[in-house]
């Protein structure tokens, strides 16, 4: 037997696979986190790529807007380092705007967005949650894809514009980070809906930039915005800062993606008939809506008519009402694809990811979600344990078929060599 431990909520569960069935585990090439993230970020700010140092582009009296997508300790380090740099050359704290925004894929129908807690380095700085539906967005131009780019007024009118965030694999943009601070980051809902209508394009996928219309549209929007400086970090599966990069938006993003590919793209000899995938435990498997965002990684490694086993605790249930409603009313993949092309919504896209998987494979869910929701609404086969799911999967595809495991589906990206 081969024992594989899969993240599940705040713990792990042990999957026991007969040796003759075990194909392998897709494991990212983990890099160690730096000893002191703040020192690493300060180093990156002092060594920008493709542009002048930040201190050489700003002066006292400048109005500065910093766009931040994520809210966690890594972002606290980013903010602290940037504020130290800005105030060090005489920029007044009251002239600095921190604009907090989110990828709408991680918002969906939720209206609740929170500012970070008060602490010493936020004092005197204006903190704003970007409102996608505000009526005062400023028109910046139209991309070659036809997206009309309307931007947050405070951001658009700033003397210095800075994008900060984390570069990570992303289901339709290829990767988050860099240019996405502008679109969808500080764009209007009209702009976002126009841009995301291309999320169904076959190249709009995790780990793909070449020919990805979402990525290319974002890059054009970032040029319209005339961003002055970008600061991004790359993290490992433990969410530790591996490297920080600063400077020109394009160069920072490209360098970060190159490093991330070295860590996360894993080449495998062949696809499998059974794939076990975990989103990486909490918080990535807190609900079914969140967990389904990694199922596309399993699709890269599964054979047609195989079995995908999604191992996700789902302690918060299905998680998103719009996602739930789409899965209740849409009966097949073609139906959801047709409706989304006419009226793209983020909750509908979550349902699209799941229905696309169900089109190719049987999907078993190991979770605490009640069977009614698992089977009747989301069309998944429920299982209480991973080993119960393994028995079911091998009964479906054959007792001698191969099993592949992906413990960290949020970061590991399997790439099958030509078969």
CATH number, position 122: 3.40.50.11440
In this structure, are 115 and 16 located in the same domain? no
Task: Write down the pTM of the prediction.
Answer: 0.87
Maximum Cα interatomic distance, the chain, rounded to a whole number of Å: 71
In a domain, 240, yes or no: no
The better pLDDT of the pair 117, 87 is held by 87
Q: How confident is the model at residue 107 (pLDDT cuts 50, 70, 90)?
A: very low
93: buried, middle or exposed (CB in 10 Å: 19+, 13-18, 0-12)? middle
CA distances from 72 to 117, 165, 399 (A): 10, 10, 44
Instruction: State the average pLDDT over residues 320-329.
Output: 88
Residue 7 belongs to some domain of the structure: yes
pLDDT for 252: 96
Q: Provide the 10 A C-beta neighbour count for residue 341.
A: 11
Residues in the chain: 419
Number of domains in the chain: 2
What average pLDDT score do residues 327-344 get? Answer: 82
Is residue 113 in a domain? yes
**Confidence check: pLDDT of 110 > 50:** no
Asked whether 6 and 367 are in contact (CB, 8 A), the reply is no
Is residue 6 domain-shared with residue 69, that is, in the same domain? no
Looking at the fold, whether 81 and 202 belong to one and the same domain comes out as: yes
Tell whether 147 and 199 lie within a shared domain: yes
Q: Are residues 123 and 184 in the same domain?
A: yes
Angle at 179 between CA 107 and CA 133, to 5 degrees: 40
332 is a domain residue: yes
Confidence of residue 244 (pLDDT cuts 50, 70, 90): very high
DSSP state of 260: H
Whether residues 81 and 218 fall in one domain = yes
Residue 116 is predicted with a pLDDT of 56
Q: How confident is the model at residue 111 (pLDDT cuts 50, 70, 90)?
A: very low
Q: Which of 235, 250, 277 is the last residue before a domain boundary?
A: 235
Domain shared by 209 and 272, yes or no: no
Task: Give the CA distances from residue 304 to residues 276, 354, 362, 396, in Å, rounded to whole numbers and listed in that order.
Answer: 15, 15, 9, 13
Q: Which long-range contacts (CB under 8 A, 24 or more apart) does 353-356 make?
A: 353/171, 353/292, 353/293, 353/295, 353/296, 354/292, 354/295, 354/327, 354/378, 354/379, 355/327, 355/330, 356/296, 356/299
Owning domain of residue 174 = 37-235
Asked if 284 contacts 311 with a C-beta cutoff of 8 angstroms, the reply is no
Confidence band for 109, pLDDT divided at 50, 70 and 90: very low
In this structure, the answer to whether residues 213 and 114 fall within a common structural domain is yes
Residues 227 and 283 in one domain: no
Same domain, 73 and 198: yes
Residue 112 confidence (pLDDT) above 60:
no
Is 341 contained in some domain?
A: yes
The verdict on 299 and 342 lying in the same domain is yes
Mean pLDDT score, 270-298: 93
Same domain, 134 and 282: no
Reported as a pLDDT band with limits 50, 70 and 90, residue 350 is confident
User: What is the CATH number for 382?
Assistant: 3.90.226.30
Q: How many Å apart are CA 196 and CA 189, to the nearest integer? A: 10
């Amino acid at each position: 037997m081969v024992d594989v431990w899969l993240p599940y909520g705040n713990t792990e569960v042990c999957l026991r696979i007969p040796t003759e069935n075990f194909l392998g585990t897709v494991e990212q090439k983990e890099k160690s986190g730096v000893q002191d993230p703040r020192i690493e970020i300060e180093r990156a700010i002092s060594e920008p790529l493709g542009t002048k140092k930040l201190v050489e582009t700003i002066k006292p009296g400048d109005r500065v807007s910093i766009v931040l997508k994520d809210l966690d300790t890594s972002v606290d380090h980013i903010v602290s380092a940037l504020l130290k740099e800005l105030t060090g050359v005489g920029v007044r704290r009251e002239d600095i705007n921190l604009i907090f925004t989110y990828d709408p894929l991680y918002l969906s129908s939720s209206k609740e967005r929170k500012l970070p807690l008060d602490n010493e380095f936020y004092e005197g700085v204006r903190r704003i949650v970007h409102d996608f539906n505000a009526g005062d967005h400023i028109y910046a131009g139209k991309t070659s894809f036809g997206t009309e780019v309307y931007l947050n007024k405070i951001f658009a009118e700033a003397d210095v514009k800075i994008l900060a965030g984390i570069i990570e694999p992303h289901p339709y943009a290829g990767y988050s980070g860099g240019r996405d601070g502008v679109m969808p980051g500080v764009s209007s809902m009209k702009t976002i809906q126009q841009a995301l209508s291309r999320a169904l394009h076959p190249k709009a996928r995790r780990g793909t930039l070449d020919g990805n219309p979402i990525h290319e549209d974002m890059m054009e929007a970032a040029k319209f915005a005339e961003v002055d400086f970008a600061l991004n970090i790359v993290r490992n599966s433990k969410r530790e800062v591996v490297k920080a990069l600063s400077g020109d938006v394009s160069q920072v993003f490209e360098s970060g993606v190159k490093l991330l590919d070295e860590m996360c793209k894993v080449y495998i000899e062949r696809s499998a008939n059974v794939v076990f995938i975990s989103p990486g435990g909490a918080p990535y498997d807190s609900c079914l809506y969140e967990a389904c965002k990694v199922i596309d990684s399993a699709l890269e490694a599964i054979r047609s008519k195989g079995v995908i086993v999604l191992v996700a605790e789902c302690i918060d249930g299905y998680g998103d009402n719009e996602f739930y409603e789409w899965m209740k009313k849409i009966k097949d993949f073609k139906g959801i694809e047709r409706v989304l092309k006419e009226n793209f919504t983020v909750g509908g896209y979550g349902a699209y990811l799941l229905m696309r998987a169900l089109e190719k494979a049987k999907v078993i869910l190991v979770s605490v979600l009640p069977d009614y929701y698992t089977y009747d609404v989301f069309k998944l086969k429920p299982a209480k344990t991973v080993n119960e799911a393994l028995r079911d999967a091998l009964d479906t595809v054959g007792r001698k078929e191969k099993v592949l495991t992906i413990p960290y589906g949020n970061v590991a990206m399997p790439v099958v060599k030509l078969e």
